[in-house]
Amino acid sequence: MKHSTALIFAASLVIPLSALADESEKVRKLFLEGISADVEAVGDTAFKGVFRFPVYRIKVTLIPESVKAKFPIDQTIYQSESGLVHIFTPTTDEELPYLKELIGPEFRLTEETAPRLEAALRGLMSSRFFDDKESRTVSADGEWRFITGKFFKDNKGFVIRVDDEGSVTGASYVLRIKE
């Protein structure tokens, strides 16, 4: 008798789960029907010789028919040897391994090439990311600091680490850059 009660209980769980699976599939199909995507190559002459992979902006718009509203999603990506890589806009102190990978291995960061890298960073990030009144580049001790603006009273921006030849060894975003 114990087993039959357990079997009835188990069967009662399976029926609603299969109904949920059917509903989930219906929702998935409705969702996918309303998706549109536009892909645009990003970059100009500033990217040439700096980035080794093409960069794209993808604008995905979700327009579910039943909702009648648009939900835009903008993403910036590049395609590396290992697949698509998302280029996220940093918001706090963090390493940026995608930036190190994106900068070509033949690129050397020097006084002459620093403006090209800054222009490429501007093209990669949104224009609101750089405050033109505060932007500048400072080099010291194997680091290039591309200051993009202020975070309260401190400088914020990209820190690009290089070896003695100027090859990029690391990249990060820092909210409190020391000059």
Q: Tell me: the pLDDT tens digits for 60-102? A: 877 665 555 666 677 888 888 888 888 888 888 999 999 999 9
pLDDT tier at 110, thresholds 50, 70, 90: very high
Question: For 121-145, how does the pLDDT look when each residue is reduced to its tens digit (9 = 90+)?
Answer: 988 887 777 887 878 888 888 999 9
Angle at 177 (CA atoms; ends 104, 144), nearest 5 degrees: 30
Distances from the Cα of 110 to the Cαs of 40, 46, 142, in angstroms?
Answer: 30, 15, 11
Quick check: pTM over 0.95? Answer: no
Give the pLDDT score at 177: 86
Place of tokens 């697949």: 83
